Structure 1
């Protein structure tokens, strides 16, 4: 504090405004506390307006919307399902650095620091109101948060600025604390602001839970109907009980999740509605959740996979879905597929969070069990997987079929509208090709190699050949597995996988001509 004491010895009424290291550090802390207050209050207001309107979520959504495909692929490949958490942590770190910089700036120029805070609030407000599902009221959390931050910053930085009093006359001893900032006042103000922020954050969480209680109750109280057309029982031996081999049915908690939602939407099934309209719709349809439950309900085992899934990747899962055929709803609306003269060739499905998914009309109405699903593996859809209703279309990658939290279906053409991922240079139509994955590659006994294979649509429903323990019918568009009947002998047998063979044609495995690689190639 020598610099402060030096200031106090200067003559005249002008004080040095150059901060010392201590005050600069406390100014940075002041900015950090002000930013924390802003976020806490903004989240509290967002709990009343809409949880997705919070500044971190809104800015994060804007970043996702503007992320190049290559960067997105990198994030999915390296961070997996934690990509959203990494993004939010990155935003918080940048906000913390920005807030500390603003605090130091405000110590020198308080108005300039306040202006920087208001710019931060403006960015959050524009991001929130500019989201596809945004509204003018969504700007309110960021605006209120910025206003609170300005007030807190003024309060704390004011405690770091010495009062401007004339210096003592020459020869007089300075017994006052001229030039010394109010340490006690700063500690009290900083503590009070921090405690108030924590309280606001906790209150916001409780309020959000209260607002979303209806959605949670609607899922908890839902009794799934008995399907009119049930899926066959999983055949004995479908799960081969090989360590490392994926199970036939993927448990809900292990099912992959790839979407852009930073906050998982929680929709009350009692208020949910779906509208079907657009080109070629003779009779626009609006259905509620309980309307779906009263229709012909089907149950099917269907495999979903993400186009970003690499060989051996985790973004694939097989579940037993419960729902209604989407084709039946489209026929009720008077929709005809292009093959029968219909004018629309694309279904644009819209989610409550603004996502748009474009699906070929022909693929939905060609006889496959494309459905609006509300059940998954014997229970209501988890919120993370689209409760109350989502689309499931066998044989198509998720980005052109798997709209979660669906609320609207518009019939149009591919020439007239590009859905979310198509605008980011992805293909309009993306059928899944027959693929396979060797889950337990080995170079020598005693471990047994095993793999799973999943066809697109239409695809084989059996996998049978000499030497394979398989042969059950599982339905097109579904994943199944195989393994050799006998343990592998080094140099005497090989294993592999490939495209489907004509019925009755065995899959042949030639002895290897060279040592097997650590991870067998997959055709």
Structure 2
């Protein structure tokens, strides 16, 4: 078998294994599917610089990029297994077994896993191995084409009679007698000088390719069907059935002029569909509110357990809060402002009554992800929420439905636990949340930052009046002023739009009389405490990027 056909056999076997595992995972949960389970393991184990590179390059599409990359690596690995199996079948089967074992290990080590989560990888691995055997040694294998001896030289004397067996089969040849079909390859190979007419029998080649088409198509149908079935088992219907209670304390009305409504400028309130999403979940957890429970436990005097209905029955407040990801680069868009509805965390923690020294609240997601939030900041009067609503509707599933944490003034990696099911009181000395062992700071207060939204980098502008505008933020401190400068010249004060509170970003604008040429625009903000934004450039790790956002434009 040629390397090309062998590689095709290996890839088809892998497709069968992955495709068949999907409908099995409908029964055991989407996180148990081999591709998702292994991808989740990659997310946890990949070096932090590579993870940040993926976020910087792909942004909110980083998970799709990871799954596509994992699939391509799997295809390359499967092709190699096919080539090895064509030489020694057992090598290919061992390779498939190893991948199935990796899928089992990845599925069983996820939070909340049980023995049934091994089933998709086991079933997929078994059928993948059977497929590889069928192509290499079974009914779909390629049959060799008959060999033909070399054409004898033209005789030098016409008196020499030709062989009665014909020019292509010398009379009395033992090979001809042993192989009437002319296929000595099956008996150990051709004699010297014999050549194959083709690499494989045309009929067996057609049978091989038909097998590839049928099995690959079946795998695709099984994979897509399993994905659709898993979607039907989701919680979209349960989310639509949720009726949010009216807030006991509604959000303040947006002041006139809070949103400048300029082209390219981010809106003051970010729509749910455009709100950034950064988390470690390759598949969005589907949490049924009917079975959801929240435990507040650990170093508390009064442990609490709440159902979703019990949480909804508590008095709720509604607040505008801007959330920001620690992975947001200077000038980046991993930030958004929304109107949140939820129960104040302070009230719940006061009721649980933390013990002395319990300086950390560990939020734990249904998928096992953790964040560590300073207990004192959740009880200092800021509008830290156990949120159930976002912009007037139940939380979107991708943003934490049914319940998530929202904490003003802290980066999401230490506060914004989505799909939250536990709040454990402990201490920073006793427990490191998910990102801390990976090199990030244990505490992540949001830094003062600003961004130019318009004009955009490399925009070509017309000389004359140009509106420069953007957003600035210093959640829970607020912004006192924003300044802009051109080509390193003097700083000019921008005009700040009104805001709802110090917990949201603010829009700003500045009128620039642009002159022809290449120009560099820079922006800086000063928070309400009078502390200016630092010009020092720093990467996102370990506790957030810093520096002045700079935009270069051309004026004609």
Q: Which TM-score applies when normalising by structure 1?
A: 0.84
Deviation of residue 423 (structure 1)? 1.1
Match of 2:107 in 1: 128
2:428 maps to 1:401: no
Q: Which residue of 1 aligns with 2:26?
A: 47
- Whether the 8 Å CA contact 1:44–1:200 is kept in 2: the answer is yes
* Alignment match of 2:326 (pick from 289, 299, 307): 307
- CA-to-aligned-CA distance 1:29-74 (integer Å, 9 cap, x gap): 1111111000011112111101011111111111111122211111
- Aligned match of 1:482: 508
SS at match of 2:423: strand
Evaluate the alpha carbon distance shift between residue 70 and residue 177 of structure 1 in structure 2; reply closer, same or farther with a 3 A threshold: same
Q: Quick one: structure 1 residues 517 and 386, their matched pair in 2 at CA, closer, same or farther if it must change by over 3 Å? A: closer
2:281 corresponds to = 261
For residues 18 and 522 of structure 2, the distance between their equivalents in structure 1, rounded to whole angstroms, comes to 56
Uncovered stretches (5+) of structure 2, i.e. residues with no partner: 149-172, 187-199, 484-491, 532-548
Q: Distance in 1 between matches of 2:209 and 2:469?
A: 64
SS in 2 for 1:344: coil
TM-aligned CA deviation for residue 192 of structure 1: 3.1
Instruction: Note the alpha carbon deviations across 1:149-201, whole angstroms, 9 max, x for none.
Output: 11111112123354999x99544473377755533442443333223323322
How do 1:344-363 residues align onto structure 2 when only pairs under 5 Å count? 344-363=358-377
Provide the residue aligned with 2:50 in structure 1: 71
Is 1:371 aligned to 2:397, yes or no?
no
Would you say the 8 A contact 2:450–2:524 is kept in 1?
Answer: yes
Distance 1:327 1:143, change over 3 A: same
- Select the residue among 402, 405, 413 that pairs with 1:388: 402
SS across alignment from 1:160: coil
Q: Which residue of 2 aligns with 1:334?
A: 353
Give the count of matched residue pairs: 476
Tell me the residue number matched to 1:243. Answer: 263
Matched, 1:153 2:132: yes
1:380 positional shift = 1.2
Structure 1 unaligned segments of length 5 or more: list them.
Answer: 1-18, 337-341, 506-515
Distance 1:477 1:463, change over 3 A: farther
Is the 8 Å Cα contact of residues 462 and 472 (structure 1) preserved in structure 2? Answer: no
In the alignment, the residues of structure 2 paired with residue 430 and residue 258 of structure 1 have an alpha-carbon distance, to the nearest angstrom, of: 16
Instruction: Summarize the Cα distance change of 1:467–1:126 in structure 2 as closer, same or farther, 3 Å threshold.
Output: closer
More strand by share: 2
SS of the aligned residue for 2:336 comes to strand
What residue in structure 1 maps to residue 215 of structure 2? Answer: 193
Task: Give the drift of 1:144.
Answer: 1.2
Q: TM-score, normalised by structure 2?
A: 0.79
The 5 Å alignment of 1:162-311 reads 162=143, 169-172=174-177, 174-175=180-181, 179=186, 182-212=204-234, 215-279=235-299, 281-311=300-330
Q: For residues 286 and 414 of structure 1, do their structure 2 counterparts lie closer, same or farther at Cα, with a shift above 3 Å needed? A: same
Contact 1:397 1:430 in 2 (8 A): yes
CA distance in 2, matches of 1:211, 1:169: 68
Deviates more, 1:417-426 or 1:468-477: 468-477
1:459 shift after superposition: 3.2
- Out of 420, 435, 445, the residue aligned to residue 464 of structure 2 is 445
Bigger-Rg structure (1/2)? 2
2:9 counterpart (30, 33, 36) = 30
1:392-411, CA deviations, whole angstroms, 9 ceiling, x for partnerless residues? Answer: 00000010000011111110
